[in-house]
Structure 1
Amino acid sequence: MSTAITADDLSKFQADLENTPAHDVIQKAVMNNGVLKTAESTDSKVAMDQTFSIELDTGAVANQKQSGRCWMFAALNTMRHGIQKQFKIKDFELSQNYTFFWDKFEKSNYFYENVLKTAGEPIDSRKVAWLMATPQGDGGQWDMLTALIAKYGIVPKSVMPETYSSSKSNELDSVLNLKLRKDAVDFRKLVADGASDDEIQAVRTKKLGEIYRILAYTLGNPPTQFDFEYRDDDKEYHIDRDLTPKTFFAKYIGWDLTAYQSIINGPTADKPYNHLYTVEMLGNVIGGREVRHLNLDIDTFKQLAIKQLEAGESVWFGSDVGQSSDRQIGILDTKIYDKDALFDVDFSMTKAERLDYGESLMTHAMVLTGVDIVDGKPTKWKVENSWGDKVGEKGYFVASDAWFDEFVYQVVINKKYLPADLQLVITNEYDNPTVLKPWDPMGSLASK
């Protein structure tokens, strides 16, 4: 049934507006101050103070600047915390540019792989259209970084510092995506013309060499051997010679990356809890670690994060950071803006509804470094962001537990904190997870 808006409808709508109490005052306030400032709650600012019953000392925050590397910064931040403490190096950072280089390089090859796999499909198929929408970008997920580290290791920031294009990545992304789409034209034509595997591989190798050159010009040459030289907080000088990125990781971090499991809270009907999921065409390193998400209910999800914090280990997490948040003061709270009361409109949706209808998905990765437990329950969480120290409390944010429930979608937990039955699910389903469509919201990349 088609329904057009009539003149009588408009008259009724205008009459309803004029009969709304204080409508003229509200209208002036919103017109002059905008929606969020008018709807902002001072009660939220009072409740979200930076005091926590469990709090890790993690030092100064990092700054991803104008790039979408939050997932990378967050993961490397969880790893640097141990180095800072063990070796007494205040505010030490790992090179985000080094992992950025290899991520761009591997994503390009991953794109080529998917172009060739879908070369027989029409160019307007949903899968090909999805692939061409963003051949590569800055965003990623935890498993993607562990795949990079397993293959390439990591290095200190001093060994491969930031460049213009790592800190401000728009130009590089534009160049790479132009090239990758052009390469997709060539690959699809080769397949259509019946080229042999050897011919296609020769072209692919040439194109990867061109990608490498673009990355070397913009991000620099990734080191293969280096000396790690530093002065600790006691002013003592240290130098460790002839390290490789892999030996540096083994010596200074030494994590068993396979011990860490991505846990999601995706309460949609198509994802029963206590099962393992992956996402088609999501990844970066061919032959490397693949994405595996264990879907759990929100209470179990939070208790695992608390358990890891209680053990003194920070927690990588992914959320929809733009929802109910004040970036400048660093508050993430469902009560910070009362838009329902402002407009006298019911905006409420369940977490599942927001996912199903495109209202929300994971956009940003940060690190949990504290939690406030009152009467045995979490009330608010301390968050280490990667937007520099000019926002929040010197770069640290605070999230209400209600906001955590609604807008946190992923945490990474050491499997030793999981109960035996969930560890068994991972073991039994790891090689045969449920495969989600490429556009499923649980395949979104953290990129804010």
Structure 2
Amino acid sequence: MSKDISLNQLEKFQAELESNPHYRVAERAITKNGILATSQDLRAEINMDPVFSIDLDTGKVANQKQSGRCWMFAALNTMRHDMKDNFGVKDDFELSQNYTFFWDKLEKANYFYENVLKTAALPTSDRKVAWLMQTPQQDGGQWDMFMAIIEKYGVVPKSVMPETYNSSSSREFNSALNLKLRKDAVELRELVNAGTAEAEIEARKQKMLSEVYRMCALSFGEPPVKFDFEYRDKDNNYHIDKDLTPQAFFKKYVGWNTEDYISVINAPTADKPYNHMYTVEMLGNVVGGREVRHLNVDMDTFRKIAIAQLKAGESVWFGSDVGQSSDRKLGIMDTEVYHKDELFDVDFSMSKAERLDYGESLMTHAMVLTGVDLVDDKPTKWKVENSWGDKVGTEGFFVMSNDWMEEYCYQVVVNKKFLPKELQEVLKEDAKVLAPWDPMGALA
């Protein structure tokens, strides 16, 4: 039986508040300064001094501006770090985030159309259909989705496909594209349910994709097919490499075997036992391309493999819930930066698994680990390269406490050679398929 809040209960609540004089002090502070400023702990700033025992020289930070491309920026940053070491490109060199953005938008449109066709027989009230229509596409993505783009289209320097208004501020484009995709979904579902021939449906889908290509080209510019790569290295020596394709550029200047880099997650929920592989239904961008696959491990293993890659001189792509217990201006991510529980005299504690299961947390942002402070070979804090420009943190770099990593980091990408041998064998197993709305399907 439902029960309302009675007048007697309200009187009790009010009397309880009035009986404690400290509440009035807190009220004055919170109403004047806000919750975060009032609960902030100066000791977190002191403890998160940006000095690290392992500190990679990775150059200047990039700026994703008003777009949700952190996953691309973080991935391209790890690649340009290697280029800086191997070819001496200058600190401000960047790979084109606009180039990969263009192809991701086109591929996501096709991926959406295919899922619409697969679910066309279901009512619009079905949870899968509703999930598809809620956000037909967005800026975010996963590591394997980025690799799918790279494997098909390669990469280019930023100089040959620079930023545009729409790549740096994507809200208007996303609104227009999602409108088109939902409108197209109406037609595709009607065609399927009317028994239209498959060839006719495919022809109509191709026309839709042509229109999406046009929208992308007008908003981002057309991607280069061939280009010349000119640069001066850190010693000011001039270099030119002519008639490169994006795939040839990736092979020569990045040179990764993309299959070597795998997603490792820490999801301590009951439905995901450790040391097994997982994938997520309807999560991806390139149809027929690389599948999103996660190896779930305990937090101790999670940290050890990240440290091993840093010790080898290679930065680490990672995904986290950046909005939790973090100060953007100072560039601090620490579980002790705010004490809202003490401020309100309320217990806010939840386990990592509970936060995932009950919608309190999930991966929201991708960045790059570029250093770690080890004391007695144990991590105390981590250096983080963000993609929010150099006006936040320490010239754009953040400091993350080890406790914050424990609670709010969900994914790292490492070369599989840094995994223990028994986990390298686990990579071969078939992945358990998770529901589309599983928190491990969140897009950074």
Which TM-score band (shorter chain)? over 0.9
2:176 counterpart residue number: 175
Q: Helix, strand or coil: the match of 1:290?
A: coil
1:114 counterpart residue number: 115
1:136 counterpart residue number: 137
Q: Helix, strand or coil: the match of 1:306?
A: helix
1:93 counterpart residue number: 94
Cα deviation, residue 303, structure 1: 0.5
Q: Helix, strand or coil: the match of 1:60?
A: coil
Partners of 1:133 and 1:101 in 2: CA distance: 22
Cα deviation, residue 19, structure 1: 1.4
1:245 counterpart residue number: 246
Cα deviation, residue 376, structure 1: 2.2
Partners of 2:443 and 2:307 in 1: CA distance: 24
Partners of 2:74 and 2:21 in 1: CA distance: 47
After superposition, where does 1:138-157 map in structure 2 within 5 Å? 138-157=139-158
1:102 counterpart residue number: 103
Q: Give the counterpart letter for 1:437 in structure 2.
A: A
1:68 counterpart residue number: 68
1:327 counterpart residue number: 328
2:350 counterpart residue number: 349
1:445 counterpart residue number: 443
Partners of 1:261 and 1:281 in 2: CA distance: 19
Cα deviation, residue 367, structure 1: 0.1
Q: Helix, strand or coil: the match of 1:22?
A: helix
Cα deviation, residue 4, structure 1: 1.3
2:384 counterpart residue number: 383
Partners of 1:251 and 1:371 in 2: CA distance: 30
Q: Helix, strand or coil: the match of 2:200?
A: helix
Unaligned stretches of 5+ residues in structure 1 = none
Q: Helix, strand or coil: the match of 2:128?
A: helix
**TM-superposition CA deviations, 1:350-372 (whole Å, max 9, x none):** 00000000000000000000000
2:285 counterpart residue number: 284
Partners of 1:16 and 1:379 in 2: CA distance: 41
Q: Helix, strand or coil: the match of 1:369?
A: strand
Q: Helix, strand or coil: the match of 1:135?
A: coil
Q: Helix, strand or coil: the match of 1:399?
A: strand
Q: Give the counterpart letter for 2:438 in structure 1.
A: D
Partners of 2:418 and 2:404 in 1: CA distance: 24
**TM-superposition CA deviations, 1:302-342 (whole Å, max 9, x none):** 10100000000000000000000000110000000001110
Partners of 1:378 and 1:237 in 2: CA distance: 41
1:14 counterpart residue number: 14
2:230 counterpart residue number: 229
Cα deviation, residue 87, structure 1: 1.6
Which structure 1 residue ranges, 4+ long, deviate > 6 Å from structure 2? none
Q: Helix, strand or coil: the match of 1:359?
A: coil
Counterpart check, 1:373 vs 2:380: no
**TM-superposition CA deviations, 1:145-167 (whole Å, max 9, x none):** 00000000000000100000000
1:302 counterpart residue number: 303
Partners of 1:40 and 1:371 in 2: CA distance: 24
Worse overlay, 260-269 or 3-12: 3-12
Partners of 1:23 and 1:182 in 2: CA distance: 53
Worse overlay, 226-235 or 416-425: 226-235
Partners of 1:253 and 1:54 in 2: CA distance: 23
Worse overlay, 162-171 or 374-383: 374-383
Unaligned stretches of 5+ residues in structure 2 = none
Cα deviation, residue 383, structure 1: 0.2
Partners of 2:8 and 2:137 in 1: CA distance: 51
1:340 counterpart residue number: 341
Partners of 1:195 and 1:15 in 2: CA distance: 69
Cα deviation, residue 3, structure 1: 1.9
2:83 counterpart residue number: 83
Cα deviation, residue 246, structure 1: 0.3
Q: Give the counterpart letter for 1:126 in structure 2.
A: R
2:192 counterpart residue number: 191
Partners of 1:279 and 1:441 in 2: CA distance: 10
**TM-superposition CA deviations, 1:25-79 (whole Å, max 9, x none):** 1100000000000000001010000000111000100000000000000000000
Q: Give the counterpart letter for 2:66 in structure 1.
A: Q
Q: Helix, strand or coil: the match of 2:427?
A: helix
2:49 counterpart residue number: 49
Cα deviation, residue 128, structure 1: 0.1
Partners of 2:10 and 2:319 in 1: CA distance: 43
Q: Helix, strand or coil: the match of 1:379?
A: strand
Cα deviation, residue 251, structure 1: 0.4
Partners of 2:277 and 2:20 in 1: CA distance: 50
Cα deviation, residue 375, structure 1: 1.8
Partners of 2:261 and 2:232 in 1: CA distance: 31
Counterpart check, 1:24 vs 2:24: yes
2:398 counterpart residue number: 397
Q: Helix, strand or coil: the match of 1:361?
A: coil
Worse overlay, 271-280 or 84-93: 84-93
Partners of 1:261 and 1:237 in 2: CA distance: 35
Cα deviation, residue 182, structure 1: 0.4
Partners of 2:24 and 2:323 in 1: CA distance: 29
Partners of 1:274 and 1:3 in 2: CA distance: 46
Q: Give the counterpart letter for 1:281 in structure 2.
A: M
Counterpart check, 1:34 vs 2:34: yes
Q: Give the counterpart letter for 1:60 in structure 2.
A: K
Q: Give the counterpart letter for 2:334 in structure 1.
A: D
1:3 counterpart residue number: 3
Q: Give the counterpart letter for 2:156 in structure 1.
A: V
| Identity of matched residues, % | 68
Q: CA RMSD in A?
A: 0.6
Partners of 1:420 and 1:45 in 2: CA distance: 39
Cα deviation, residue 144, structure 1: 0.3
